[in-house]
Amino acid sequence: MGHTPGKEIIMKMGTGFAVLILSTVLAGAGQREREEEQPVSSRDVEFMEAAARAGAGEVNVGHLASQKSQNKDVKALGEMMMSEHGSANDRLKNLANRKGVNLPGNADADSTELQNKLEKLEGAEFDLTYATATVEHHRRAIDLYNRGLQSQDNDIKEFALSTLSTLQQHLQHAERVKKSLSVDAK
């Protein structure tokens, strides 16, 4: 059984194909490393820091609402804010770690001020104040995340886009709760 030219060509093609695939994979990995090594713009850092503070505030105030309110809809809204903003905060922390960005652990000033105010309120006044603030905070958060969509960093843009739809759902939910509370108060 001798050496046939057809087998030799196939073997050379197979080896060449394997080298081509391996070089493509390695080039792709090198490209990803270069992308991750690029510094994050100051605009992106500002977005990530503002998102972290706002998210921490939603978790803190949501926790207060879930504990303090006697209204089932307000409690549910607070629980949703804790759970879903907590999840978004975790995703943001992971992204920031990959990008080498240190995020603040504290809530934004508006949320801290709201929390202090809510701690002094009771009953229907607490519920309406919380629902109204949640609507306002989510409108601002949607504006913030729309700015995040302008990022040149695809990972940051993806995070902003994936979180934006949740924020819009939160806004709609908070508006419904606020409207039901306003109707109940009349």
Q: What is the pLDDT of residues 31-64, one digit of tens each?
A: 454 445 578 999 999 999 999 999 999 999 999 9
Tell the CATH superfamily of the 41-185 domain.
Answer: Ferritin, core subunit, four-helix bundle (1.20.1260.10)
Q: What is the pLDDT of residue 22?
A: 46
Q: What is the pLDDT of residues 141-173, one digit of tens each?
A: 999 999 999 999 999 999 999 999 999 999 999
All structural domains of the chain with their residue ranges: 1-37, 41-185
Max distance between CA atoms of the chain, in angstroms, equals: 98
Report which of residues 20 and 121 the model is more confident about.
121
C-alpha 103: how far from its chain's center? 13
Give the C-alpha separation, 41 to 46, whole Å: 9
